Amino acid sequence: MKSKKIEVRKYEAWLSAETMHDHSQNWLSELRFAKDEQLFFNDLVGAYTLQLINSKHFNESTKVINKLSAIQKETKELIRTVINHEKGLKIMVDGIDQIPEENAYKDEHGKLIIKISDFLEKYRALKSKLFVLIKSIIKEGKQKRLLP
């Protein structure tokens, strides 16, 4: 039996230079905010270090803290990537037809759309885990104070 080769068509939206610039600016804004937020998370973890290393929360807190550290590095790298991508936008607006370079830039932009979307989704999930963990520690602390 012969297998049929199915042609998959790739949908590419036509993106203007202005649209790509707006995307890049929005990404930088979100990534820089995430970077600032991560400083807050570091302070939060520092404030609850003793409770986080408690045997009850140790495994979960270790995973969350390791992920937080990794995501901080990824955030810095993504910021650098988007800044460099933004600098490359001049190829789209220089008035010279450079079709292969312009297509490569658009392909890179499409990959960044997916990469940053995935990153932000992963980042939101990590924030939720961290908040749930800290919330449970705070509740336990309040319960201990209420009991004689």
Cβ proximity of 53 and 23 under 8 Å = no
Query: Whole domain around residue 135: which residue ranges?
Result: 17-140
Report the pLDDT value the prediction gives residue 99, as an integer from 0 to 100.
85
d(CA 64, CA 121): 15
Domain for residue 24, yes or no? yes
d(CA 52, CA 46): 9
Q: What is the pLDDT of residues 17-36, one digit of tens each?
A: 899 999 999 999 999 999 99
Report the pLDDT value the prediction gives residue 124, as an integer from 0 to 100.
97
Instruction: List CB contacts of 82: < 8 A, sequence separation 6 or more.
Output: 24, 27, 28, 31, 112, 116
How many domains in the chain?
A: 1
Average pLDDT over residues 106-111: 92
Look at residue 6 and tell me whether its pLDDT is greater than 70: no
DSSP-based three-state secondary structure for 90: helix
Q: Which of 81-85, 103-107, 113-117, 137-141 has the lowest mean pLDDT?
A: 137-141
Cβ proximity of 116 and 72 under 8 Å = no
Confidence of residue 2 (pLDDT cuts 50, 70, 90): low
pTM of the model: 0.82
Domain for residue 45, yes or no? yes
Look at residue 103 and tell me whether its pLDDT is greater than 60: yes
Average pLDDT over residues 57-75: 93
Domain for residue 107, yes or no? yes
Angle between helices 99-146 and 58-87 (to 10 degrees): 150
Question: And the tokens for 23?
Answer: 């995307």
Cβ proximity of 27 and 112 under 8 Å = yes
